[in-house]
């Protein structure tokens, strides 16, 4: 075990004291891991739109002070009682959702939605005892989705930690902890386009571009990008997108435009915006008889999806996905290997890098739309 095992560690963390206010670098105390928990030393982390959404406290009860962050790479510092498949020094990716390997979902080959460790944005504490492992002068600081990677050290349930190839560069593969894997898996695991097929991607942010990357890897011959922002089109070409549609330029529904472009509809579509209108278009633009549409984006809680039943009866298929149908502990190591084998290109998702002391710049890049992923170096 490490020399710090069983001890409280004092380290730096970026604390959100209030909603939508800049994070403050503070010295925090990180308690040792309890049963089935792992304490990690975070080396690289990245900002995801989910962090920004809950930092802004949109549509949810604020839970502050809090340590955000859930895309990261690090090494195991120490493990709690009952942890047998991880040891100090292992290279890992913490993940916002988990895999207990015991529930019906984890034992099913068709699901990755763990009953015990499914994402919970409201909890803010550890499952073991309902308490936080972070504190400042005795004041508890809330966790975020069980990861809280905007800290030099964090404590995570073992079911939310994927052990990976130690040769993989953590400053690259850390982005696989959330959005990139979600989009990639939505295409490869759920839409499953055949070589030479046509795919429409709705939304060309990081998740949508990851979905396009999946279509490229699968060998799709036509990848049609749909987005309201034409400034994204040139960049999307690097991810294999071959054609573009801006709904603002269309004088008819997007699904009709795509049907005309493709002689009846695309073979597959992946929706990555969370807009119900985009979801409907993504479903109705696939070809009857064999078309498959996959929904990735998260809609507002009061939204409803409406389409004519004949669209289903005419043998179009509508699917949803969570984290690209990847089981974190079982499947993420193989996604890392796709990168190591040069099948998956991660560098093009990384547009900025900042030292931990300048973490608020990452928020500025995200809010301005200036980049896709900003890597935050914890040692700088």
Round to whole Å and give the CA distance between 43 and 346.
18
- Of the listed 114, 160, 174, 285, which one is catalytic? 114
Residue 110: other Cβ atoms inside 10 A: 6
Annotate 84-110 with DSSP letters as a single string.
Answer: -S--TT-EEEE-SS---SSSHHHH-TT
* Residue 105 is among the residues annotated as catalytic for this protein: no
- Of the listed 4, 56, 118, 243, which one is catalytic? 118
* Residue 114 is among the residues annotated as catalytic for this protein: yes
- Of the listed 26, 48, 147, 321, which one is catalytic? 48
- Of the listed 70, 157, 222, 329, which one is catalytic? 70
Round to whole Å and give the CA distance between 28 and 265.
54
- Of the listed 99, 106, 133, 154, which one is catalytic? 106
* Residue 133 is among the residues annotated as catalytic for this protein: no
Pairing of strands 37-46, 153-157: antiparallel
* Residue 272 is among the residues annotated as catalytic for this protein: no
Per-residue buried b or exposed e for 236-262, using 16+ beta carbons within 10 Å of the residue's own CB: beebbbbebbebeeeeeebbebbbebb
* Residue 71 is among the residues annotated as catalytic for this protein: yes
Would residue 219 be called left, alpha or beta, if left means φ above 0 and alpha means ψ between -120 and 50 degrees? left
Residue 301: φ, ψ to 5°: -60, -25
* Residue 285 is among the residues annotated as catalytic for this protein: no
**Residue 194 contacts residue 165 (beta carbons within 8 Å):** no
- Of the listed 49, 123, 238, 377, which one is catalytic? 49
* Residue 174 is among the residues annotated as catalytic for this protein: no
Per-residue buried b or exposed e for 56-65, using 16+ beta carbons within 10 Å of the residue's own CB: eeeeeeebeb
* Residue 377 is among the residues annotated as catalytic for this protein: no
- Of the listed 174, 178, 285, 374, which one is catalytic? 178
* Residue 118 is among the residues annotated as catalytic for this protein: yes
- Of the listed 26, 29, 37, 50, which one is catalytic? 50
- Of the listed 29, 39, 66, 100, which one is catalytic? 100
Which residues are catalytic, by number? 48-50, 70-71, 100, 103, 106, 114, 118, 178, 373
């Amino acid at each position: 075990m490490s020399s710090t095992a069983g001890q409280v560690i004092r380290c730096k963390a970026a604390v959100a004291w209030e909603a939508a206010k800049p994070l403050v670098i503070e010295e925090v105390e990180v308690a040792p891991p309890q049963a089935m928990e792992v304490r990690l030393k975070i080396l690289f982390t990245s900002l995801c739109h989910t962090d920004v959404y809950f930092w802004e406290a949109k549509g949810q009860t604020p839970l502050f002070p809090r340590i955000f962050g859930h895309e990261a790479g690090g090494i195991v510092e120490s493990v709690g009682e009952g942890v047998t498949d991880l040891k100090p020094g292992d290279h890992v990716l913490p993940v916002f959702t988990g895999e207990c390997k015991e529930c019906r979902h984890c034992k099913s080959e068709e699901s990755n939605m763990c009953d015990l460790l499914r994402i919970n944005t409201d909890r803010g504490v550890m499952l073991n005892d309902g308490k936080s492992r972070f504190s400042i002068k005795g004041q508890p600081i809330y966790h975020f989705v069980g990861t809280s990677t905007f800290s030099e050290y964090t404590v995570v349930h073992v079911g939310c930690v994927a052990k990976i190839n130690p040769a993989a560069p953590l400053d690259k593969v850390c982005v696989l902890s959330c959005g990139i894997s979600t989009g990639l898996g939505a295409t490869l695991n759920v839409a499953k386009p055949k070589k030479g097929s046509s795919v429409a991607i709705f939304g060309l942010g990081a998740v949508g571009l990851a979905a396009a990357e999946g279509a490229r890897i699968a060998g799709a011959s036509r990848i049609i990008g749909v987005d309201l922002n034409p400034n994204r089109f040139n960049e999307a070409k690097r991810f294999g997108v071959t054609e573009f549609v801006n709904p603002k330029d269309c004088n008819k529904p997007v699904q009709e435009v795509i049907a005309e472009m493709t002689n009846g509809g695309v073979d597959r579509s992946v929706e990555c915006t969370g807009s119900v209108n985009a979801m409907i278009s993504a479903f109705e633009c696939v070809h009857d008889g064999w078309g498959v549409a996959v929904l990735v984006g998260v809609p507002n809680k009061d939204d409803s999806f409406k389409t004519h039943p004949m669209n289903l009866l005419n043998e179009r298929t509508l699917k949803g996905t969570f984290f690209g149908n990847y089981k974190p502990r079982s499947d993420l190591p193989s996604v890392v290997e796709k990168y190591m084998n040069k099948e998956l290109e991660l560098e093009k998702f990384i547009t900025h890098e900042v030292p931990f002391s300048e973490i608020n710049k990452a928020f500025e890049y995200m809010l301005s739309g200036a980049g896709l992923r900003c890597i935050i170096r914890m040692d700088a």
